[in-house]
Amino acid sequence: MIAVISDIHANLEALEATLADAKSQGVNKIVCLGDIVGYGADPNRCVERIHEVAAASVLGNHDAATLDERGAENFNAVARVAIQWTREQMSPENMEILRKTPLEYIADGALYVHASPEDPNLWNYVLTETDARAAFDCCDEFICFIGHSHVPVRLLLTNGSLEVVPDASLAVPQGARALVNVGSVGQPRDGDWRASYALFDPTTRQVTSRRVEYDCQAAAAKILAAGLPEVLARRLALGR
Ligand code: ZN
């Protein structure tokens, strides 16, 4: 069983709770879809923890903007402040880990990427049907896992017809393909404050979205103590 996690955003409390939940579900492989840092107060410890437990990790736009400040040019003011702070905190060893992180990972019949696979370096969101079809066109695997929007979504493409699967669990039929946004561990934005990630069994082609409670007051208190923008602390409990 594989755990696919994304958008940790330096929220160590959410990451540890997610890893504990994954362990309880019999997970023996962890894949991280990036944005390990940015917004939260524990960038170094989150990079170290992911490096320690994940079989593979791909780069997110906040990781890229930490490595190269030009990546933050399109960020809003709050995200830019957080990335500047993150860059000052990061150890050289952890910057090196991020620098070696690829944009894509292919294994288990899956393509793992942070944003749209159309051009992973452009960090495009998959929000519309057109975006989703373009994403499917750029993926040869039966399933593509993405993050980036912080909103979990499951899409199924069967004989050219595209549907949104509302259930938390989905078995991809033979001949069909899926695009799964696993949501965000450290800063969910779908109105549910709990950490979001997905379980994936490549043999049964089953994907299950999971939500995990964590100590979001502790994560918020650390953000305030670090002097990061207050809104980043407040939003955790709102899931926005
Ligand atoms: Zn993100």
Residues with CB under 5 A from ligand 1 (ion): 7, 35
- Short-list 35, 28, 20, 24, CA closest to 3: 28
Token couple for 109: 């019949």
Tell me how far the alpha carbon of residue 6 lies from the centroid of ligand 1, in angstroms.
8
Tell me how far the alpha carbon of residue 34 lies from the centroid of ligand 1, in angstroms.
8
Tell me how far the alpha carbon of residue 165 lies from the centroid of ligand 1, in angstroms.
23
Tell me how far the alpha carbon of residue 190 lies from the centroid of ligand 1, in angstroms.
13
Residue 186 near residue 45, CB atoms below 8 Å: no
Which whole number is the average pLDDT over 164-173? 94
pLDDT of the residue at 69:
87
Residue 115 near residue 107, CB atoms below 8 Å: no
Tell me how far the alpha carbon of residue 62 lies from the centroid of ligand 1, in angstroms.
7
Where are the extended beta strands (E) located within the chain? 2-5, 29-32, 56-57, 104-107, 110-113, 143-146, 153-158, 161-164, 169-171, 177-181, 195-201, 206-212
Q: Does pTM surpass 0.85?
A: yes
Question: Using one digit for the tens of pLDDT, what is the confidence trace for 110-123?
Answer: 999 999 999 999 99
Tell me how far the alpha carbon of residue 178 lies from the centroid of ligand 1, in angstroms.
21
Which whole number is the average pLDDT over 73-77? 91
pLDDT of the residue at 49:
98
Tokens 């620098």, residue? Answer: 99
- Short-list 60, 72, 20, 98, CA closest to 187: 60
Tell me how far the alpha carbon of residue 149 lies from the centroid of ligand 1, in angstroms.
7
Separation between Cα atoms, residue 181 and residue 25, nearest integer Å? 20
Separation between Cα atoms, residue 24 and residue 14, nearest integer Å? 15
Which whole number is the average pLDDT over 216-231? 97
CA dist 125 → 4, 61, 92, 116, 135 (Å): 18, 11, 30, 6, 10
pLDDT of the residue at 157:
96
What domains sit in the chain, N to C, each tagged with a CATH number?
2-238 (3.60.21.10)
Which whole number is the average pLDDT over 156-179? 95
